[in-house]
Structure formats: C-alpha cells, structure tokens
Amino acid sequence: DTEVTQTPKHLVMGMTNKKSLKCEQHMGHRAMYWYKQKAKKPPELMFVYSYEKLSINESVPSRFSPECPNSSLLNLHLHALQPEDSALYLCASSQALAGISEQFFGPGTRLTVL
C-alpha cells in the first residue's frame, strides 16, 4: 500500500475561521511533509517532520501550525488565513533520513480563503 490520504478534499474558509487539514499514511514512513502548491507552480515545502519531531520549517507564517500526533498522522491547523493562502495543500511521506527513499504524495486539499 503506497497511499497517502488527505481530508478534506476541498475546504472553503473565511479569514476568521479555524480549520484543520489531516493526512494519514500506513507505509511505516517516519518522515512526513506539508507542501503548498499554487497553480502552474511546483510544490513549495512548508514543514518536515522526522520521527514525529519538526525538523524543517521553511519560515512559514504562524497562521499555519503543524502537528504530528503519531507516526501515521499529520495535521495542519489553520487560523486567520489570508486570501493569498488559497492553494492546493499537499501532504507527503517518505522513509526518514538515511538511505534510498521515494516520496509519496496525497491527493491534496484544495483550500479557498474568502
């Protein structure tokens, strides 16, 4: 099973709302990622968790708050977002750190901020 699942598929929120994106994988991967992708652009790395610890934060605004409750789950908490935050949010996973490891993506959550 090489599946990464994400919920919800679509999300529309106002600038004062609080919402969360969820990601799950059961491949035993110990590295999990959040990416943001705008139309016709490549994925842009936001956060990396390795062994449930935040290892990379690409200077993401604090209105995005990641959480890794366990090795299979990754959340992204959203609060006070701006319209320019509208994008496809992708979760991915890979085996951690050393050695050969492919990265597998979920289908994404399409976020619209009004």
Q: Which stretch binds other proteins (CB under 8 A): 12-20, 39-47, 68-76, 78-86?
A: 39-47
Q: How far apart are CA 60 and CA 65, in angstroms?
A: 9
Phi and psi at residue 39, to the nearest 5°: -60, 135
By residue count, the chain amounts to 114
Q: Which stretch binds other proteins (CB under 8 A): 11-19, 59-67, 70-78, 100-108?
A: 100-108
Pick from 38, 41, 54, 61: which binds other proteins (CB under 8 A)? 41
Q: Which stretch binds other proteins (CB under 8 A): 13-21, 70-78, 79-87, 98-106?
A: 98-106
What distances in angstroms separate CA 10 from CA 13, 50, 93, 110, one per listed residue? Answer: 10, 27, 21, 5
Beta bridge partners of 79: 18
**Which residues bind to other proteins, rule: CB under 8 A?**
2, 4, 6, 31, 33, 40-43, 45, 48, 50, 55-56, 88, 90, 94, 96-98, 100-108, 110
